[in-house]
Amino acid sequence: MVVDYAKVSVAEIMTRDVVTVTEDTTIDDILELFGRYHYHSYPVVTDAGELVGIISEDIVLEILLFKQIPASRQTHLSVVRSLGDDARGIMMPYPVTVSPDASLSETADLMLKHHVYRVSVVDCEKLVGILSKRDIVNEICKRRD
């Protein structure tokens, strides 16, 4: 039996219990989360659960090593982030998102197109889950004949 991944929805395999941060979470608390959970990114949400950004390992690494990066390679954004003291100041706004109804195949295509390893799953602007490339690969391997 061949599985049509255009008919498998994100909601079927997404992680629903997502560790998040709020806009006013301090950098020290964010660093603690990276050390404790070993996730690659953390969605930033409002008190109402609306997704407003994402903080990735790349952003954290850029902040931690900012002073060691030659000035000629620093960008305006890296300078601004180096001055941030909370999630709002360092997050990447407008992360790549999908709805729970999106298919695995269209979500995989979106991830490849935008060079991201995970997408936030939102329903009416509220974060309801997260899905990684690894989740998709695992699901495809599980469903193979």
Q: Which residues of 17-34 are buried (b: 16+ CB within 10 A; e: fewer)?
A: ebebbeeebebeebeebb
Both structure tokens of 35: 């050390």
Q: Which residues contact 83 (CB under 8 A, 6 or more apart)?
A: 89
Confidence of residue 124 (pLDDT cuts 50, 70, 90): very high
CATH class of the domain whose range is 10-143: alpha beta
Cα gap 142→145, rounded to integer Å = 9
Query: What are 74-84's pLDDT values in tens digits?
Result: 555 554 555 56
Q: Global pTM?
A: 0.82
Strands (E), 5-145: 21-22, 41-45, 51-56, 92-93, 97-98, 118-123, 126-132
Please determine, for residue 2, whether its predicted confidence score (pLDDT) is greater than 70: no
- CB–CB of 137/108 below 8 Å? no
What are the residue boundaries of the structural domains of the chain, listed by start?
10-143
Give the residue with greater pLDDT, 128 vs 60: 128
